[in-house]
Amino acid sequence: MAISFTLNEREVAAEFPPNRLLIDLLRDHFKLKGTKRSCDMEVCGACTVLLNGQPVSSCTTLAADADQGSIVTIEGLSPEAGLSRIQQAFVDHGAAQCGFCTPGFIVAVTDLLSRNPSPSDDEIRHHLRGNLCRCTGYVKILEAVKSLVPPGREGVKAQVKA
Amino acid sequence: MRPAAFDYLRPTAVAEAVRGISGSDGAFFYAGGTELLLALKMRVLRADRLIDLKRIPQLDRIALSERGELTIGARATHRQIEESALVQQVLPALGRLCSQVANIRVRSVGTIGGNLCFAEPHADPGTFLAALGARLHLVGAQGERMVAADEFVLGEFETARRDDELLSHIVIPAQAGPSAYRRFRHGERPSVGVGVSWRLAKGGRTIETARIRFGALGPRPQAVEALEQALGGVETAKASGRIAELLPHALDALEVISDRHGGADYKRHLAATLLQRCIADAHQAALGGRP
Ligand SMILES: Cc1cc2nc3c(=O)[nH]c(=O)nc-3n(C[C@H](O)[C@H](O)[C@H](O)COP(=O)(O)OP(=O)(O)OC[C@H]3O[C@@H](n4cnc5c(N)ncnc54)[C@H](O)[C@@H]3O)c2cc1C
Ligand code: FES
Ligand code: FES
């Protein structure tokens, strides 16, 4: 089947059989290798991308679902040069070691902060519960995300964007 | 892991979706795909056709009907229900339930209809919907019908839905009083879930009728009539004490499967604890006037 969609703000098109998974389209066809495959069963979050603004496990989403919509991968969240503020916070707090889980975390944190710029610790933990990291023990990841919350505003839930 | 090849339809109306599934053994509706694609990838299911429901308008609508009943489209995602202002207002316990399901990615695309139709025993919504006395609206080649949530799940991965029937929406009774749902999670899915809903007598202090359902313990949500009957005519403030008298033996009748979530005795113990917490929640809701 033939589809067209926005990939990291660029218009693209692709043709493939309907059983193609989104992760394979991104990694093999578009050569975007930042999206990782690990558990392959929606548990670890390494393959997280934004589909029409919602985080999904690209390992268990059909590529066909991108048709007429938009996909944002970790590559789309990184500036041309340097790092985004979320990426920089991860570096500054030692929230990445081997880095395999990091793209998924950055995408999930992007989703969290875009809806709730001032999450409490509990809200951060709750949102990231489905992203697994084998290296950091999560404390540093939590610290990195907390550092992005404006001082004195923790837990003040901003309006949820539809 | 990759699914085997299949055809792919994208109907834009319910009737077209039902036509697409009729007469084909290997055809499946595709909502969020969080269960279906996993099963296809692991090759425990085989599909020769997927019928995508995402382009059918209205199937994800959450609304109050003229009779004041809450209706939830089968394709509403857990996240949509959790974030719905209407749900937060009229049935906050359902919003909380949905916020606890799985992880953010599954909640963002996984639907309440897909959850019910898959009928995995370790699931949350079916238990609470049964406790609320909800009904499910099915549309098939031979017409439409309503099935009580209590009668929908027949066993593990088995429901009263005929193969050609599409679940279009869920109807939750209007007059339902305070309600609560609690679950205990081990790994990804619930080990035990307990749902409670009360209808209050005039004045709002006394329970007229109680519905209680236990989920994830056996193949389908279960009721314990003795507990429900014992609460009739009891003041909400005294409900917890009344239940405590019965609990040592009341749960013996439940069918409980020992599995990696724990042994049967342990799960009965969890169920008793969660029930008492639900009763405390429902009492609070009754005081606050919020279901
Ligand atoms: C990691 C993980 C953790 C989870 N944790 C929990 C949990 O804690 N609690 C819980 O309750 N659930 C849990 N789940 C299950 C989750 O809620 C379901 O996967 C999800 O709701 C299914 O919805 P879906 O739209 O993705 O269904 P799909 O995968 O699209 O469909 C599932 C089945 O239902 C059929 N179907 C779908 N929609 C309809 C319809 N409208 N009419 C007729 N048939 C239909 C499909 O043909 C298929 O057979 C978990 C799942 C995962 C993967
Ligand atoms: S690889 Fe997709 S969630 Fe783990
Ligand atoms: S940094 Fe290695 S898995 Fe998270």
The average pLDDT across B154-168 equals: 97
Q: How confident is the model at residue B176 (pLDDT cuts 50, 70, 90)?
A: confident
- Phi, psi torsion values for A93, nearest 5 degrees: -100, 10
Predicted model pTM: 0.96
Predicted local confidence at residue A158, as pLDDT:
46
**From the CA of A88, how many Å to the nearest CA of chain B?**
23
Neighbour tally for B273: CB within 10 Å? 15
Tokens of A83: 């790092």
Residue A162 pLDDT exceeds 50: no
What percentage of chain B has pLDDT greater than the value 90?
Answer: 93
Nearest to B23 by CA among B120, B164, B167, B161: B164
The average pLDDT across A128-155 equals: 92
Ligand 3 near A94 CB (within 6 A):
no
On the CB side of B267, CA atoms within 13 Å amount to 25
B29 vs B49: CA distance, rounded Å = 9
- Only one residue has tokens 């305070």, namely B178
- The verdict on B3 touching A (C-beta cutoff 8 Å) is yes
- Only one residue has tokens 């209050």, namely B200
Q: Helix, strand or coil for residue B256?
A: coil
Yes or no, beta carbons of B108 and A56 under 8 Å apart? yes
Predicted local confidence at residue B18, as pLDDT:
97
Q: Of the ligands numbered here, which is closest to the C-alpha atom of B140?
A: 1
Q: Which residues of B touch A48 (CB under 8 A)?
A: 105
ipTM metric: 0.93
- The verdict on B54 touching A (C-beta cutoff 8 Å) is yes
- Phi, psi torsion values for B62, nearest 5 degrees: -120, 120
Q: Of the ligands numbered here, which is closest to the C-alpha atom of A37?
A: 2
| DSSP string for residues in A61-124 | SBGGGGTTSEEE-GGGGS-SSS--HHHHHHHHTT--SS-SSHHHHHHHHHHHHHH-SS--HHHH
Look up residue A33 and give its DSSP letter.
T
Q: Which residues of A touch B7 (CB under 8 A)?
A: 18
For B211-236, the pLDDT digits (tens) are 999 999 999 999 999 999 999 999 99
Q: Tell me what the pLDDT averaged over chain A comes to.
A: 94
- Only one residue has tokens 């906050």, namely B92
The average pLDDT across A38-55 equals: 98
- The verdict on B37 touching A (C-beta cutoff 8 Å) is yes
Predicted local confidence at residue B261, as pLDDT:
92
B110 vs B131: CA distance, rounded Å = 22
Q: How confident is the model at residue B23 (pLDDT cuts 50, 70, 90)?
A: confident
Cβ burial, residue A116 (10 Å; 0-12/13-18/19+): buried
The average pLDDT across B20-45 equals: 95
Ligand 2: atom nearest CA of A40 is 1
Sheet with B207-215, strands from edge to edge, namely: B179-186, B189-200, B207-215
Yes or no, beta carbons of B5 and A18 under 8 Å apart? yes
Yes or no, beta carbons of A1 and B8 under 8 Å apart? yes
For B97-116, the pLDDT digits (tens) are 999 999 999 999 999 999 99
Query: Of the ranges A136-145, A149-158, B64-73, B84-93, which one carries the lowest mean pLDDT score?
Result: A149-158
**From the CA of B40, how many Å to the nearest CA of chain A?**
10
- Phi, psi torsion values for B122, nearest 5 degrees: -85, 75
Sheet with B27-30, strands from edge to edge, namely: B7-9, B49-52, B27-30
Q: Which residues of A touch B1 (CB under 8 A)?
A: 40
Q: Which amino acid is at B227?
A: L
B48 vs B43: CA distance, rounded Å = 12
A7 vs A70: CA distance, rounded Å = 6
Tokens of B142: 């031979």
For B88-100, the pLDDT digits (tens) are 999 999 999 999 9
B255 vs B244: CA distance, rounded Å = 20
Instruction: Please name the residue whose Cα sits nearest to atom 31 of ligand 1.
Output: B114
Counting one residue from A and one from B, how many pairs have CB atoms under 8 Å apart?
74
Nearest to A36 by CA among A14, A55, A17, A59: A59
